[in-house]
Amino acid sequence: CPASPAAPLAFTMLQLTRVYKGNSVFRGNASLNGQLSHVLEGNNVTQVLPLESPDAWARRQDEVIAYLGNFRQLVKLFNKERPTDFTHHLCCHLGCRLYPNGTAQSFYEVTLNRTAFLSFHVPSATWERRWPGELPVAAFAQQQLMKYPITTQDLQYFLNTTCVSLLQAQSARTGLVSGRSRTPLVLGLVLGSLGLLGMALGIFLCTGGSC
């Protein structure tokens, strides 16, 4: 449903990955202010709203397809080393909201088999475990994700700056949010900058929970 004038503008992304016996199946979507903007189905990613020019979007599609291919190959490699008969469902939900007073809020939440797994604390660019009780793979994933700028500082920049700038540009066109809007940055990672994060988590899940 379209947002009301009093509600925050929002850009949200959802990436779903099912891993079973070395095979990975992807689904996902993104929405801008309640309207579907991108769709991911298998190896196909589609831009429903024209947020990027055709040339820019063609490059983005290539990046997403390359990421998905690398993800699949790594899952197969790790499955050969540590086979598992378990099916894992990984869900990444992230995005940002821009409120009428000009303030913004960003988030990134990860669930494993429908249970809270990890979350990203955007202000401090740190990963926090959400799994109830002890789970070695959760601790291992958290440690590994904290090692790389692309899953800490780069992700923080994307959520706080790129994502919010997209909403500020939208608010400038619609007039729904007051305050000065900055020039929007190129939309960097609609479904693909999540790439390394999804890749890292997927690898850990394929160990069958042992580290």
Residue 111 lies in a domain: yes
In order, the DSSP letters of 67-135 are HHHHHHHHHHHHHHHS-----EEEEEEEEEEE-TTS-EEEEEEEEETTEEEEEEEGGGTEEEE--SS--
Return d(Cα 171, Cα 179) in angstroms, integer.
Answer: 9
117-128 pLDDT, tens digit per residue, is: 889 999 999 999
Query: For the chain, how many structural domains are there in total?
Result: 1
95-144 pLDDT, tens digit per residue, is: 999 998 889 999 999 888 899 988 999 999 999 999 888 777 778 778 87
Residue 17 lies in a domain: yes
5-56 pLDDT, tens digit per residue, is: 557 899 988 888 888 887 888 898 888 888 898 888 988 888 888 877 788 7
Mean pLDDT across 181-201: 44
Return d(Cα 28, Cα 151) in angstroms, integer.
Answer: 20
Residue 2 lies in a domain: no
Please, how many CA atoms are within 13 Å of residue 40, restricted to the half-sphere of its CB?
Answer: 23
Return the bridge partners of 97, or none: 10, 105
Residue 4 lies in a domain: no
Residue 85 lies in a domain: yes
CA 193 to chain centre: 7
Return d(Cα 5, Cα 112) in angstroms, integer.
Answer: 35
> In which domain, by residue range, is 36 found?
9-174
Residue 22 lies in a domain: yes
Q: Radius of gyration of the chain from Cα atoms?
A: 18
Residue 189 lies in a domain: no
CATH number, position 89: 3.30.500.10
141-169 pLDDT, tens digit per residue, is: 788 778 878 778 888 888 888 888 878 87
Residue 183 lies in a domain: no
Return d(Cα 99, Cα 181) in angstroms, integer.
Answer: 13
CA 44 to chain centre: 16
pLDDT at 192: 44
pLDDT at 107: 93
Rounded to two decimals, the pTM is 0.76
